[in-house]
Chains A and B, each alone.
Chain A
Amino acid sequence: MAEPTAAADGSGGARRANLAPLELHVPEPRYRPGDVVDYSHLEIPPAGRAPRPDETCPASETWPLTLDMIRVLDEDNRAIGPWNPALDAETLRRMLRSMALTRAFDDRMYRGQRQGKTSFYMKCTGEEAISVGCAQALASDDMVFPSYRQQGILISRGYPLVQMVNQIYSNRADPLKGRQLPIMYSARDYGFFSISGNLATQFPQAVGWAMASAIKGDTRIATSFVGEGSSAEGDFHAAMTFAAVYNAPVVLNVVNNQWAISSFSGFAGAERTTFAARATGYGIAGLRVDGNDLLAVYAAMRWAADRARANMGPTLIEYFTYRAEGHSTSDDPNAYRSAREATEWPLGDPITRLKNHLIQLGEWSEERHAAMDLEVADQVKVATKEAEANGILGHGLHHPFHTMFEDVFEELPWHLEEQAAQAIRERQTKWPEWKD
């Protein structure tokens, strides 16, 4: 046996001369700022190719689908293959409008942040089909446990835009009383669970909600969303394990938009396999979907929702998409990725693709689309003006002071009563005329 010797370079290990030194692999994205982008390495299967097993199939049967990609809209903007949901034109137009409204809302709120009306905003540009397609495929009373980039679900479900803006401006009409960072909505009546800043925590919570629904013999299901970056959190594993063990009626979704702030998907494990492929290791059905193809998104979520409702248990869906804009208003993507990535993204833009499909069907036109864009922009403008009358961040119109201490507990304990009195005293010291 060779006598181990301490390494001279201070690494502390005993190196054997007859073996190559070990190497740490640190993933590196293909393109950095200024690089020419070439997506030829991406395997984009043709639309219509992926088979559609029955919703009640064993989870293992979905294994090939976790490596493939479900796509419905082809190069000629036709809907083809077994996953074509064959939705009527009216529904397609409604969903197109929801996507356009979501994008218009994002654009205006982004500007609002730049104008100082609020502190923070996050767009979902390029990912609108995921929220809107999923919302359409679910029942309105199924509970969604969203991440911070599913605003399209609230919009699809008809949540008032003005309430969204009130929340973003933290004004006196903010349903969350100015307590939450902008976009961390909560809308129980719309089946939209309170958003948390802590990533992936909502994943096991959705499973718990689904378990509760099963315990009570209900028919409602739960669904939750994480980004591919957050799928690295331990909560993801907890959720998958619990969902599998209890056969929970839940649909767990990974929105793979390639980027977690500045970290490309390789840091969540994308170099080795797909995110959908993780499903079958847990005994869960898995689907991988073109996330910019609204029809594919709808069809996959519908399949998974029907499966859950049939007591066949959970599904994990990966939506392959691209985060077309910065992570948030606090982020500059030009500092870490090529500006050409978004424009050359091979799966295109979800709104353009559905628009072209409707035009191809003879159910839409460029003129109608342009008119709709003006309409939704106006709709957002009206809502924004209405919300601004309730105040913008920093302009003093907010909920009464005492509300800061409420809802920590159901009732205010003595120490919070004392602290509330202190806060009001401090206020009066600064502004003697001040009244709550």
Chain B
Amino acid sequence: MNMIEAINDALDIMMTRDPNVVILGEDVGYFGGVFRATAGLQKKHGRNRVFDSPINECGIIGAAVGMAAYGLRPVPEIQFADYIYPGLDQLVSEAARMRYRSAGEFTSSITIRSPFGGGIFGGQTHSQSPEAMFTHVAGLKTVIPATPHDAKGLLIAAIEDNDPVIFFEPKRIYNGPFDGYYDKPSRTWKGQPGGLVPQGYYCTPLGKARIVREGSAMTVLAYGTMIHVAEAVLAEKGVDAEIIDLRTLVPLDIETVEKSVEKTGRCLVIHEATRTSGFGAELSALVQERCFYHLEAPVERVTGFDTPYPHSLEWAYFPGPVRIGEAVDRLLKD
């Protein structure tokens, strides 16, 4: 399965298992979504449970908050993460705070799915990685899969979770893993280990990282598309790195991170989002605070630049093999 098929399968399974699961969003109904993630679901589960919405992200998320207060488990889709901002007040001030401010009387069991990340010539408003805007909000969980296997398992776990979950889908790897070598032919998920998706129901627990590759030379913390770029670059450089796919940013699997950095003594943080106040800053600070006496070099951050996401200069912006390679060299210098 590719990642879209895995997501579609997860949605189908959860709609079949739980009559309270409903899907709403722009173009998600009859048409099946601009990325096909909800294809066939309306036909199978009915218009009452999978339906198109007006183009109004505040309304989509606001209505979902009301539906969750009633007792449904809405899975709204925001067509691109770049367009989640009109719904931000409903997310930050409402969904995230509902359980807290009502002392548990009302909850927001909502999973907001949204394609995110660049590498597709999406320009400024089809490429953003706004995860740090959500990890900064108390009461939200933020999840980003890097493989079809995890996309299905994590999405099922997110829908079952009783807290609001932001589920960002790296659209660059919907159809196949991407290693950052944009001039090479693209690959599909066929035959890739992460592309092996079990049939039927299974859960990939939230808050648990995945060790992509064990190693001893350094710890690489990443998620989404950057997992595949990191894997390729470190393999090419022949560095025995331990690569950790965080999968869930909040709550973070701190144990796995600490254990790894204590073993390797070096840490490289990679994300596509802009650098300043990005989630990498949080990761870097945590590693510094908790693993200080094990560190043999400063924590390195490889990120997007602090600019809006450019169109023509996409590959100069994208944190690709050269930028990662330089950081790896700096980390291993001493």
Contacts and interface: CB of A to CB of B under 8 A. Distances in A.
A212 to B, nearest CB: 4
B30 interface: no
A198 B92 CA distance: 10
Interface in B68-84: 68-72, 74
Most chain B CB inside 10 Å of its own CB: which residue of A188, A208, A215: A208
B262 interface: no
A179 B101 CA distance: 6
Contacts of A197: 93
B62 A204 contact: yes
B321 interface: no
Given A407-B104, A408-B138, A205 B63 contact: yes
B64 interface: yes
Interface in B89-104: 89-90, 93-94, 97-104
A407 B100 contact: yes
Contacts of B54: 238, 241-242, 245
B139 interface: yes
A186 interface: yes
Given A208-B62, A408-B100, A410-B99, A194 B105 contact: yes
Q: Sort chain A's interface into a size bin.
A: 35 or more
B72 A215 contact: yes
A158 B276 CA distance: 52
Contacts of A201: 62, 65, 89-90, 93-94
Contacts of A205: 62-63, 65-66, 69, 90, 94
A207 B66 contact: yes
Nearest to B57: A238
Contacts of B102: 176, 186, 188, 194
B232 to A, nearest CB: 32
Contact of A208 (B66, B100, B104, B138): B66
Central interface residue in A241, A242, A245, by most chain B CB within 10 Å: A242
Interface in A97-134: none
Contacts of B101: 176, 179-180, 184, 186, 194, 196
Contacts of A177: 103
Given A215-B49, A407-B99, A413-B207, A242 B70 contact: no
Contact of A410 (B49, B71, B162): B162
A234 interface: yes
B288 interface: no
A379 interface: no
A186 B59 contact: no
A435 interface: no
B78 to A, nearest CB: 14
A415 B104 CA distance: 20
Nearest to B254: A414
B98 A204 contact: no
Contacts of B74: 208
A409 B67 contact: no
A175 interface: yes
A180 B93 CA distance: 13
Contact of A409 (B58, B69, B163): B163
A276 interface: no
Nearest to B98: A194
Contacts of B56: 237-238, 241-242
B308 interface: no
A209 interface: yes
Contact of A213 (B49, B65, B70, B141): B70
Interface string A185-211: 011100001101110010111111111
A197 B141 CA distance: 22
Contacts of B70: 143, 208-209, 212-213, 216
A238 B61 CA distance: 10
Nearest to B140: A409
A188 B58 contact: no
Interface in A288-337: none
Contacts of A210: 66
Nearest to B255: A414
B62 A239 contact: yes
Contacts of B53: 242, 245
A380 interface: no
A138 interface: no
B110 to A, nearest CB: 10
Contacts of B68: 208
Contacts of A176: 101-103
A209 B69 contact: yes
A371 B67 CA distance: 45
A218 to B, nearest CB: 8
A413 B205 CA distance: 14
Contacts of A408: 99-100, 138-139
B198 interface: no
Nearest to B51: A246
B252 interface: yes
B157 interface: no
Given A186-B101, A198-B89, A204 B66 contact: yes
Q: Which of A188, A212, A213 has the most CB of B within 10 A?
A: A212
Interface of A: 143, 145, 175-177, 179-180, 184, 186-188, 193-194, 196-198, 201, 203-213, 215-216, 222, 234-235, 237-239, 241-242, 245, 407-410, 413-415
27 contacts: A179-B101, A186-B105, A194-B101, A201-B94, A204-B58, A204-B90, A207-B62, A209-B67, A212-B66, A215-B22, A216-B72, A234-B86, A235-B62, A235-B90, A238-B54, A238-B56, A242-B53, A242-B62, A407-B103, A407-B104, A408-B100, A409-B163, A410-B161, A413-B251, A414-B251, A414-B254, A415-B252
Given A201-B65, A407-B99, 6 more contacts: A176-B102, A177-B103, A193-B69, A204-B59, A204-B62, A211-B63
